[in-house]
Structure 1
């Protein structure tokens, strides 16, 4: 039930940065091959795999779908899988608890997020591999492994944003801008982008924000400014920064009675939610979204076709391209906030 994939394109995501830096001390599992946003071609197929074959164009996904467990059969209740759900602690293959990578001396090199794509060849459980139309650009389809699916899916599936709604997006990295793209495609009437990096404004405007707020320029809390701009608060807010103080601002920026906050940022610290339980009685809600609530194997091919048709525009997300040998430069670009997705090719 495994496949070997020849990786053609991969990119660096903030999650890779977080675990590469060891920001979560409990998850310092080394040596390890990072990377989880990629596309490639099936090079060989293991026993028991009947839905993929050699030569298929594919994207690996960190949140798998076996199709058989009670979670996968739950239809709309969850997109988690009992065995192949996202798990940053998981570092071996599911079938035997062993690694498929090793050093020249035979010592194990551990896996990451069900995928490990910073390598020319990777071995992945078939539940974590999605077949893509061969007419699609593998370069662009690599974005569907994580960032774009996360952001657009959070708008389409998790929040189900209606036409004419007001939206605030906190953190304008790749995931945040994917939220903007999703809100634009849904016909949101106002999309407010929030980021402390002033250089994010022009890219966000090109994708679809109507307003830009830099909290450093304000003399009041960001949520107060957004409430003033929107007659009480936005209908939906999305936290894409991985910062609990930002999460609180996002929560308070929504309209009481019906406001919904969707958390997308990765929070590596041990701090707990900065909310008092009684604040929830004002009608605001907070949820999170895993992989944009897409069921990977069954729903991602349709989403890919929508991207091919131009419903979702992918070109703006690729800001840099370079050979894989320059991966350190790509990591630095993302760390400095100078790139959205730096596409690496072998």
Structure 2
């Protein structure tokens, strides 16, 4: 029976308070309005907004997807009209819900209701639900042959890391790289460095349990800062002779950001900040580090233009240009979301895929 135009009742993980566990609730998901898409979730990776989906209904005016299409919701939309979308090297669309989150769709309202109360959306995707509604500019149609329980990682974590290496840093063949933080995004950075032809990829993390997986996906060696008496940037200079050419901070810690910058080759080293820091974090970096030519860059979603590049990345996966399987260490049902969250926080998983 068609659900087009009707409210759908389904299960969702709702966060009622900050710093509290998710609560599995029955929610009501309203039908999409104009230029919106309602999606049936098939798999979502737990991270920040890792996700993907399938069939649903569409609102008036939607032309880029139709009921039955496989799609991936996008936490960074691509309107295609703003000055950022029109710039060939930019991807942080001005119509986003990241900088100053509103928790609503573009028309300023929510499609979720629980216990008679409206529920906020999460960065335009809200994938911890069996059904969700997103704006058309925040959804990408993908190959019908794509396995959703795998390519869901392309919705956030993998693309962010991989793109930071191949698109933002533009890692060169034969170069030396260092990756601070060996979680799912950090491992994806390593995969990008390897794909770009880096000769040496040094993984840096205090959790040595991550070293084996890092080497499996392409790290040539791994080190822990706790094993040395000197600062890690000095260790990396000693190891390489002149500092690394490409360095990636994938933790979001001001101290490791400063160390990552200082680890770069003084004349042409490039440091990319991939980790998410809070709005109140301050990074202390010696100004003379940039005198000789180091470069510090930021990265969001790996530099990819979301609606344009996500389908291509999915096709690349289908064509076996990269392998997502090593990143997925756990698969759990949605009602185990708090268990999945704990696995992520304690570093006991790389990526946990939730099946709504």
TM-score (norm 2): 0.88
The CA deviation at 1:88 is 5.7
Aligned length: 322
Look up the match of 1:219: 229
User: Does the CA-based 8 Å contact 1:169-1:238 persist in structure 2?
Assistant: yes
User: Does the CA-based 8 Å contact 1:257-1:284 persist in structure 2?
Assistant: yes
Rounded to whole Å, the distance in 1 between the matches of 2:146 and 2:57 is 21
Instruction: Give the alignment partner of residue 239 of structure 2, picking from 229, 240, 248.
Output: 229
Instruction: Give the alignment partner of residue 326 of structure 1, picking from 320, 336, 344.
Output: 336
Alignment partner of 1:255: what SS?
A: coil
Alignment partner of 2:37: what SS?
A: strand
Alignment partner of 1:37: what SS?
A: coil
The CA deviation at 1:178 is 0.2
Q: Is the counterpart of residue 75 in structure 1 residue 88 in structure 2?
A: yes
Q: Is the counterpart of residue 163 in structure 1 residue 197 in structure 2?
A: no
The CA deviation at 1:279 is 2.5
RMSD between aligned residues = 1.2
User: Does the CA-based 8 Å contact 2:155-2:310 persist in structure 1?
Assistant: no
Q: Is the counterpart of residue 205 in structure 1 residue 215 in structure 2?
A: yes
Q: Which runs of structure 2 are paired with 1:71-110 in the superposition (5 Å)?
A: 71-76=84-89, 78-84=90-96, 86-87=98-99, 89-95=101-107, 97-105=108-116, 107-110=117-120
Instruction: Give the alignment partner of residue 62 of structure 1, picking from 55, 75, 78.
Output: 75
Instruction: Give the alignment partner of residue 63 of structure 2, picking from 50, 62, 66.
Output: 50
Distance 1:315 1:115, change over 3 A: same
Rounded to whole Å, the distance in 2 between the matches of 1:199 and 1:310 is 27
Q: Which runs of structure 2 are paired with 1:232-251 in the superposition (5 Å)?
A: 232-251=242-261
Structure 1 ranges of 4+ moved more than 2 A: 84-88, 276-279
The CA deviation at 1:323 is 1.1
Rounded to whole Å, the distance in 1 between the matches of 2:262 and 2:247 is 9
Q: Is the counterpart of residue 111 in structure 1 residue 131 in structure 2?
A: no
Rounded to whole Å, the distance in 2 between the matches of 1:292 and 1:82 is 17
Rounded to whole Å, the distance in 1 between the matches of 2:306 and 2:102 is 19
- Give CA deviations for 1:95-137 in whole Å, capped at 9, x if unaligned: 2x111112222x2211111111111111101111011101111
Rounded to whole Å, the distance in 1 between the matches of 2:302 and 2:253 is 19
- Give CA deviations for 1:192-218 in whole Å, capped at 9, x if unaligned: 000000101011011110111101111
The CA deviation at 1:308 is 1.5
TM-score (norm 1): 0.91
Q: Is the counterpart of residue 38 in structure 1 residue 72 in structure 2?
A: no
Alignment partner of 1:199: what SS?
A: helix
Instruction: Give the alignment partner of residue 345 of structure 2, picking from 314, 327, 335.
Output: 335
Unaligned stretches of 5+ residues in structure 1: 16-35
- Give CA deviations for 1:308-338 in whole Å, capped at 9, x if unaligned: 2121110001000111111111011001100
User: Does the CA-based 8 Å contact 1:40-1:59 persist in structure 2?
Assistant: yes
The CA deviation at 1:84 is 2.9
User: Does the CA-based 8 Å contact 1:155-1:182 persist in structure 2?
Assistant: yes
Rounded to whole Å, the distance in 1 between the matches of 2:96 and 2:79 is 7
Unaligned stretches of 5+ residues in structure 2: 1-34
Alignment partner of 1:56: what SS?
A: coil
The CA deviation at 1:269 is 5.6
Look up the match of 2:41: 7
Instruction: Give the alignment partner of residue 176 of structure 1, picking from 186, 189, 194.
Output: 186
The CA deviation at 1:67 is 1.1
The CA deviation at 1:278 is 3.2
